[in-house]
Amino acid sequence: MPRGEHGISREDISDNALKVLYRLNNAGFESYLVGGCVRDLMLGIIPKDFDVVTNATPEQIKGLFKNCRLIGRRFRLAHIVFGRDIIEVATFRGHHSDTDNQKLGKASEHGQLLRDNVFGSIEEDAERRDFTFNAMYYNVADFTVTDFANGREAIQKGEVALIGDPEVRFREDPVRMLRAVRFAVKLNMVIEAQTAAPIKSLSGLLNNIPPARLFEETLKLFLSGQGKDTFLKLREYGLLDALFPQLTPLIKDDSSKELEFILRVLANTDDRINNNQRVTPAFLYAALLWYPLEEHAQKVQTEAGLNNHDAFNIAAGDVIHRQTQRIMIPKRFSTVIRDIWILQQRLPRRFGRRAFQMLSHPKFRAGYDFLLVRGQVEGGDLLELADWWTEFQSADNGQQKRMLSALRKKEGGKGKPRRRRAPKAKGSNDA
């Protein structure tokens, strides 16, 4: 496609990506923009990342750029670093022969590619791409776009379609099932029928993906501004069980409080992201695992005869441990998840200085926001508690004291009684 047909302008391309393309070309190599950035430019969307592909090897790329670092074992890539901006450069991928796969151990027994550093031509590279609209290559040398797999037609139809046999391609990399869902939601498309057909039956292959990689994928799924719709689409295709096995039994019913709670949290998260407000994965994971925690805590308390506090803490550790076997949650987030959960136990305790101490807790806001959504979903005493905290945190000191006094009267003087010193026995002798 010449420039007049695809409408991509260099003005819409990152200056750093252009620098990489020009330097590779000037050194005698072929280089192209490829994948999502070309697709998004053709859709009129501003790309977040610009990926480059070339016939230069990773070592040759490193020799051209002092600001280059080579990463990856499964996919050997070059990252050209411009401050916070990173341009990812890959070498054209080639095809593996079955003999090579067996000899070098590059594919698992399930057909999943474990190593992928066989280099080839641009035609082979295009065949190795996952979706048809990701096999379009923009050449800055003559301003053309080469479309190897009818990607423009897929865009016009609004379809997410795999290149090649869907079952084979999903087995090569099961994460492609998650990507298919993410692209369908992000681009407001549908998953083409042949591509969609094997997803449910192959969803269990996600159990073979390293937990650390799945954590990165879930961030893309739920923290891109369309988390609610993405969650529902994952549920539709039976992909949630491989990601959150403790949660899925609780959200089978469309009208369940568990599903309503998660969808509310995801909708709130989407609003914050789309309004350029900060979000943390910890809050989302705390929500996804809250009802599995409640259920497990009740079970521990009943079976072990523990008090509520001890059962809750043991259950929290169990639930996080089980989840990290599927999706690795870094400690900096799992610590915050626990804080949010523990605050759900502490926020009902408001007498004495506790309410004021709670306001100074570093995670109070996250705990309060979490309580607020729980109250909106469950109503009753929980909603009343959330409303009380809404008013208390914005009241002046005098009003706060009056609220605590009114609360004590309402509760009939409940709360921890003041300790009184026992009267001395008659005739006692103080040492």
CB-CB contact of 132 with 150 (8 Å)? yes
**Cα of 268 vs its chain's centroid, Å:** 15
Residue 355 burial (CB count, 10 A): 20
Secondary structure of residue 77 in the 3-state scheme: strand
Q: What does the angle CA 171 – CA 175 – CA 179 come to, to the nearest 5 degrees?
A: 120
Gap between the terminal Cα atoms of the chain: 100
Cα(130)–Cα(137) distance, integer angstroms: 14
CB-CB contact of 300 with 306 (8 Å)? yes
Concatenated DSSP letters for 276-312?
Answer: T----HHHHHHHHTHHHHHHHHHHHHHHH---HHHHH
In the set 40, 116, 125, 130, the catalytic residue is 130
Hey, what amino acid is at 370?
F
Phi and psi based region of residue 95 (left: phi greater than 0; alpha: psi -120 to 50; beta: remaining): beta
Longest dimension (CA), the chain: 107
Establish whether 51 is a catalytic residue.
yes
CB neighbour list of residue 62: distance below 8 Å, 6 or more residues apart: 68, 69, 70, 78
Phi and psi based region of residue 353 (left: phi greater than 0; alpha: psi -120 to 50; beta: remaining): alpha
In the set 51, 147, 173, 270, the catalytic residue is 51
Q: Where are any strands of DSSP class E within 156-241?
A: 159-160, 190-191
Phi, psi of 146 (to 5 degrees): -100, 125
CB-CB contact of 106 with 96 (8 Å)? yes
Query: Which are the catalytic amino acids?
Result: 49, 51, 130
